[in-house]
Amino acid sequence: MNIFVNSALNYTGSKYRFLGQIMPLLPKDSDIFIDLFCGGGSVGINASAKKIILNDKNTSLTEILRLFQNVNFIKLESEIESIIDEFSLSKSSQFGYKFYNADSSSGLGKINKTAFERLKFHYNSNKSAILLFVLLIFSFNNQIRFNSKGEFNLPCGKRDFNDKMRKKLRDFVAVLQNKNIEILNFDFREFYKILDDFSKQKSFFYIDPPYYLANASYNENGAWGYKDEKELLEFLDTLNNKNIKFAFSNVLYHNEKEHSMLKNWQEKSNYKLHLLNFSYKNCNYQRNKTSSQEVLVTNY
- Tell me the pLDDT tens digit for each residue of 248-257: 999 999 888 8
The answer to whether the beta carbons of residues 14 and 39 sit under 8 Å apart is yes
Query: Who wins on pLDDT, 72 or 287?
Result: 72
**Is the predicted pLDDT of residue 258 greater than 50, yes or no?**
yes
23-53 residue pLDDT tens: 999 999 999 999 999 999 999 999 999 999 9
225-240 residue pLDDT tens: 999 999 999 999 999 9
Per DSSP, 87 falls in state T
The answer to whether the beta carbons of residues 17 and 38 sit under 8 Å apart is no
What does pTM read for this prediction?
0.91
Per-residue pLDDT at 2: 59
Closest CA to 38 of 200, 165, 218, 192: 218
* 100 Rama class: left (phi>0) / alpha (psi -120 to 50) / beta: alpha
**Is the predicted pLDDT of residue 289 greater than 60, yes or no?**
no
**Is the predicted pLDDT of residue 287 greater than 70, yes or no?**
no
* DSSP structure string for 196-248: HHHHTTTEEEEE-PPPTT---GGG-TT-S-HHHHHHHHHHHHHHHHTT-EEEE
The yes-or-no answer to whether 16-57+186-298 and 74-170 have a common fold is: no
Give me the numbers of helices (H) and strands (E) for the chain, helices first please.
10, 8
* Average pLDDT score over residue span 77-98: 97
Cα 155 to its chain centre, rounded Å, is 20
101-140 residue pLDDT tens: 999 999 999 999 999 999 999 999 999 999 999 999 999 9
Per-residue pLDDT at 102: 95
- Residue ranges of domains in the chain: 16-57+186-298, 74-170
At 295, the pLDDT band (50, 70, 90 cuts) reads very high
Residues 6+ apart with CB under 8 A from 133: 64, 67, 80
**Is the predicted pLDDT of residue 264 greater than 80, yes or no?**
yes
CATH fold for domain 74-170:
Adenine-specific Methyltransferase; domain 2 (1.10.1020)
Q: Report the percent of the chain where pLDDT is more than 70.
A: 92
Per-residue pLDDT at 39: 95
User: Integer distance in angstroms from the first to the last C-alpha of the chain?
Assistant: 25
Query: Class of 16-57+186-298 per CATH?
Result: alpha beta
At 291, the pLDDT band (50, 70, 90 cuts) reads confident
